[in-house]
Amino acid sequence: MRIPTAIRASRRSPLLQVVKSIAATIAAWVVASWVFPTQLPVFAAIAAVLVVQPSVNQSLSKALERSVGVIAGVVIAVALGLLLGSPSWIVLLAIVVAMLVAWLFRATPGTGNQVAISAMLVLALGSSSPEYAFARIGETLIGVVIGIVVNALIVPPVLTGPARRDIGLLGSELAASLDRLAAALAEPQTPQRLQELMLEVRLLRPMRDAAEASIAAGEESLALNPRRSAHRDQLREMRALLEKLSPIVIQTVGMTRAYIDHYDDSIGQEPAVAAIAEQLRRAGHDVRLAVQVADVAPEPEALTSAIPALTAPLEVRPPASAHWILIGSLMEDLRRIREELVDEG
The domain locations on the chain are 15-153, 160-341
Q: Given this model, what pLDDT does residue 344 score? A: 45
For 265-307, the pLDDT digits (tens) are 878 777 788 888 888 888 888 898 888 865 655 554 554 555 5
Which of 318 and 100 is assigned the larger pLDDT?
100
Tell me which of 297 and 326 has the higher pLDDT. 326
Q: How far is CA 158 from CA 40, 147, 200, 207, 277, in A?
A: 35, 18, 32, 21, 41
Contact between 73 and 116 under an 8 Å Cβ cutoff? The reply is yes
pTM: 0.67
Q: Packing angle between helix 130-153 and helix 56-84, nearest 10 degrees? A: 170
Residues in the chain, how many?
345
- Helix/strand/coil percent split, the chain, to 5: 75, 0, 25
Average pLDDT over residues 308-335: 69
pLDDT band at 60 (very low <50, low <70, confident <90, very high): confident
Q: What is the pLDDT of residue 297?
A: 55
d(CA 260, CA 199): 12
Question: Can you spell out the DSSP letters for 78-116?
Answer: HHHHHHH---TTHHHHHHHHHHHHHHHTT--HHHHHHHH
Does residue 314 register a pLDDT over 80?
A: no
Higher pLDDT, 296 or 114: 114
Let me know: does 255 contact 180? Beta carbons within 8 Å: no
